[in-house]
Structure 1
């Protein structure tokens, strides 16, 4: 296995992780921003007010995007396992 192949696999895996995490985290960040704006406008300084909506949005996002995430992970690992003979030489 050459260093180029290892770096290519590492780059693909890192990109996949970034995309999958972004799909889960971005909706939660948007909800947090909306709630923070609401809190700033109404001068409500309750720290726990944003926790439950962000938690629910994160769980709903995982439920909604879960099959797509699983498909992406299985495709990536399937590609790795089918190309093992090519990687070894």
Structure 2
């Protein structure tokens, strides 16, 4: 697990709290993980990634349950990303 001490502006904090409440996460960490995973698809559409990598990530994302996903394990994150 990676721990990070971050500084958020007020509007970002409100958005994270909104996602936390809407998705019924127990803490902000889960909300941030969710936001990052949801945004990953948009990031991966850039041409800087190989097509095989993009397809692997998207296939893994589609196979995930819609419940909370714990990505604290580095091995599990690598599996999710097809690395």
From the CA coordinates, give the structure whose radius of gyration is larger.
1
What TM-score does the superposition give when structure 1 sets the normalisation length?
Answer: 0.27
**Higher RCO (CA 8 Å, separation ≥ 6 residues):** 1
